[in-house]
Structure 1
Amino acid sequence: MKLTDLGYKDHFEKYRAEQKLLQFEVGRVISEHKERYVVITEKGEYDAEITGNLRFSAKCREDFPAVGDWVALSIFDPDFSIIHHILPRSAVLSRQAAGQPTEKQIIAANIDYALLVQATDRDFNLNRLERYLTICHASGVSPIIVLTKTDLIDPDTLASLIDKVRRREKGLPVFAISNETMDGLNEFKSIIEKGKTYCMLGSSGVGKSTLINRLSGRDTMQTGAISDSTGKGRHVTSHRELIILENGGILIDNPGMREVGITDQEEGLGYAFDMILQRAPECRFKDCTHTNEAGCAVIEAVQSGELDSDVLENYLKLQREISRYETSVAEKRKKDKQFGKILKDYQKRDVKGKGN
C-alpha cells in the first residue's frame, strides 16, 4: 500500500523536507485509545506512543495525535514505535470535550467529507443535524447526509423526511439507505472516492457499524442491537478508527456521540444557517439579536412562514453555546495569566532570598 492510498498529499512531503523530518518514517494514525496509537505506513501497522518531549510541550488535548493525523515516527518493531512530530492538520473536525467547557476534542483530522448519519426512526432530529453541519462548515469539511433504516418506515413517511431535510438544508446531498434490504446502497457507494477521507458522525444505534461493513466488503466492525425499551443504541465502536474501504475510500468511524458541544465555530454557524444571514442585513438595527427587536427581518420571515421557527430557535441556542465557550476560554486565559504572574513574582522573591 502506498501513502497516497491513505490520503497522503504533496504538501505533507514538502513540509517534511522543510522541517528536516525525512529521516523518520511517515504514517497515518488509524486508532487512538488512552494515548496509545496504531499508525499505518507503507510497511504495515505499528503500535506507537509519543515522545516525552511531545507530551511535555502539549498545552491541551489538541496537541496530542488524533485519528487521521499524519505523523513522523521511528519504528523499532511492530509492537513499539515512537511518534516525534504531528504534521500540520487540515480540515479538523472537533467538538467541546465532555465535562470540560474550555477544551476542544478532536474528532478526526485531515478530513474531506463528513457522513452525517441519522436513522429514520426514533433518532431523526433536524436540530442535531444542524449541530453537525455547524461543525463541518467551520472546519471546511463537505457534509453528506445519510438516512438509514429506511426499511423500518413506509415509503410515504420516508419521502416526507427527505423533503424536510432538503427544505431545511438546501443544496446538500441526501442519501436514504437500508442496511437490511440494501436499498440505496449502490447509489451511495458510487460517490465514495478513492484516496478521499470520510468521517462518520452520528448517534449510537443508527447503523454506522453495519454500514461500514457494507462499504468495506467485510465484517470490519462489530454490530449491536437497539434497546426495545429505550429506543437508544448500544455502543459498539469504543474508540475512533480509520478503515480502508473496498473501493479505496478512507473512512473514520466514531463512537456514537450523545453530546455534540459547539466551540468557537461562529463561521460554521453562518454557513449552516445561511437563510438567517441572508435576511439579517435587512434588520433595522445592525446589532439585531433576532429575539425581540422591532424591525427584525428574521422574525418577520418567521411570522410570514418563510422561515421555520424551529430553525431560528436552534440558531439562537447554538449561538449562545458559542458565546459561553468563548467566555469560558477567555476567563481561563485570564486566570492562567494571573497565575503565571504570581509564579514569576514568587520565583523572583525566592532568588533574592537565596542571595541574602
Structure 2
Amino acid sequence: MNSAPPDGGAALRAIGWPFPGVPEEAGDPAWAAAMAAHPQARPARVMAQHRSGYLVAEGPVEGGAVESLPEWQRPKFPPEQRPAVGDWVLVEEASIVALLPRRSVIKRGAAGEHYRQQVIAANVDVVLVVCGLDADFNPRRIERYLLLVRGGGAQPVVVLTKADRADADVDAALAALAGVAGADVPVLAVDARDRDSVAVLETWLRPGVSAVLVGSSGAGKSTLTNSLLGSERMKTGEVRSSDERGRHTTTHRALIPLPSGACLIDTPGMRELKPTGEEDLAEGGFAEVEALAQQCRFRDCRHEQEPGCAVRAAIESGALDPARYASYLKLRDEVGAAAGKLAGRRGSKRDEKALGKAPNKRLDDRYGKR
C-alpha cells in the first residue's frame, strides 16, 4: 500500500482494526502479504452484506457500497468463504479485491438437508449470548450457543435480559446456568431498556473491541443495542402474548460503532443452531462429561448398564444433571453427523479437482506439455 492514512489509522481502529498502524505495523505476516499483493488497495470493514455486494467502511462513519469478486457470486462457491459482517477486505475503487485472513469466526450449520456453513460474524472478540428471563430462557439452547462460540475463538458472555420482569427469577436462572457456563463464562442479568443496567457490559466493550449479539427473536438484542448506543436506532418489537415468542425486528447483520469505542454486530434471531462438525465437545463446555467418560472402567463404555461407569455413578450421586448429560449425547451425535458430512464434502471436492486435472494429464501424456 502506498502509505498509512493521514490519521495514523485511528479511523480504522475505531471500527476494530486490530493493529497499531496501517500497514507497516500490521504485525501479521498473512495480512501483510495480502496487502503487499494489492499495493493500491485500502483496508475496509464489512458493515453489511447484500445479495450482490457489500457495505464497507474505513472509519466510524456511514459506509459505501462495493462490488464483490465475481467468483463469490458463483452458486457452488462455499458460502463460508465469502466475506461476512465483521470481515476485513481490501478495496480498490468500488470493488473488493481481497478478503483478509480471519482472526476469529463464529458460524453454524445452515438450515436444510445439504451440508453448508453459515458465518454469523467474523473477527469478533466477544460474543454476547442474549436470552430473556421469560419463556425464552432455555439452558439447553445456551449450551448450543456456547459450543459454537468457543470453537470460533471469541470470549462468550451470557446476557440475561428482562431482569426487571415481576416473574423473573434471576437466582434460579443463574443456578441453572452454573454448570452450563462454567467458571470462564460470565453470566449477567440486566434490564435491556435501562442504560445504567447495561453499563455492566462496558467491561467487555472497551475501545477497539468487536462484539456480536446472538440470541433468539424477542430476546432483547435490538433493545440492548439501543441502550448501548444511547439512541433508538434499532427497530424493536413486542413478543407475542400467546407464547412469548419474538418477531424478527433485525432482518440482516450490521456492524455498529458504539460510543464506548467498541463495535457491535446485531444479528437476526436464530431458531436453529446446527453444529458445523468442527466443534470440540471438551473445549465447547462439556469438559466435565468428557472427563467422567475417561474414568469409566471400559474404554468402550456406553454409559448404560456397564459396571464401573463413572458417568452413571455421577448421575446417580447428583454430581451430573441428567438433562445436561442427555444434551451432551444429542450434541455429540449431531457434531459427529455434521463432521461426517463435512468430510464427505471435502472428499468430493478433492475428487472433482482430480477429475478436472485428469483430461489435461492425458493430453500431456499423449502430446507432451507445451
What's the TM-score once normalised by structure 2's chain length? 0.85
**Matched residues, percent identical?**
35
Which residue matches 2:41?
Answer: 24
Which of 161, 171, 180 is the equivalent residue of 2:173? 161
CA distance in 2: counterparts of 1:205 and 1:53, whole angstroms: 36
One-letter code aligned to 1:8? W
Give yes or no for contact 2:158–2:188 (8 Å, CA) kept in 1. yes
Deviation, structure 1 residue 179: 2.7
CA distance in 2: counterparts of 1:54 and 1:180, whole angstroms: 40
Give yes or no for contact 1:138–1:268 (8 Å, CA) kept in 2. no
Deviation, structure 1 residue 166: 2.3
More helix as a share of residues: 1
Which of 214, 217, 220 is the equivalent residue of 1:207? 220
Deviates more, 1:139-148 or 1:40-49: 40-49
Give yes or no for contact 2:18–2:208 (8 Å, CA) kept in 1. no
Change (3 A) 1:13 1:90: closer
Q: Deviations over 1:17-47 (max 9, x none)?
A: 4231332011100111224211010485110
Deviation, structure 1 residue 49: 1.7
Deviates more, 1:337-346 or 1:311-320: 337-346
What's the TM-score once normalised by structure 1's chain length? 0.88
- Mapping of residues 250-261 of structure 1, within 5 Å: 250-261=263-274
Give yes or no for contact 1:137–1:269 (8 Å, CA) kept in 2. no
Give yes or no for contact 1:16–1:22 (8 Å, CA) kept in 2. no
Deviation, structure 1 residue 190: 4.5
Which of 96, 102, 105 is the equivalent residue of 1:92? 105
Unaligned 5+ segments in structure 2 are 1-9, 20-25, 366-370
One-letter code aligned to 1:108? A
Give yes or no for contact 1:240–1:254 (8 Å, CA) kept in 2. yes
Which residue matches 2:65?
Answer: 47
Which residue matches 1:61?
Answer: 79
Which residue matches 1:217?
Answer: 230
Which residue matches 1:70?
Answer: 88
Change (3 A) 1:323 1:182: same
Deviation, structure 1 residue 275: 1.4
Deviation, structure 1 residue 57: 11
Deviation, structure 1 residue 302: 0.8
Give yes or no for contact 1:70–1:87 (8 Å, CA) kept in 2. yes
One-letter code aligned to 1:18? A
Deviation, structure 1 residue 350: 10
One-letter code aligned to 1:295? G
Q: Deviations over 1:132-176 (max 9, x none)?
A: 110111112111010001122346x22111222124322121111
Q: Secondary structure at the match of 2:164?
A: helix
Q: Deviations over 1:52-92 (max 9, x none)?
A: 255569841111110100000113xxxxx101101000111
Q: In the alignment, is residue 192 of structure 1 matched against residue 205 of structure 2?
A: yes
How many residues were matched structurally?
A: 348
Deviates more, 1:198-207 or 1:37-46: 37-46
- Mapping of residues 262-281 of structure 1, within 5 Å: 262-281=275-294
Which of 303, 306, 309 is the equivalent residue of 2:322? 309
Give yes or no for contact 1:54–1:85 (8 Å, CA) kept in 2. no
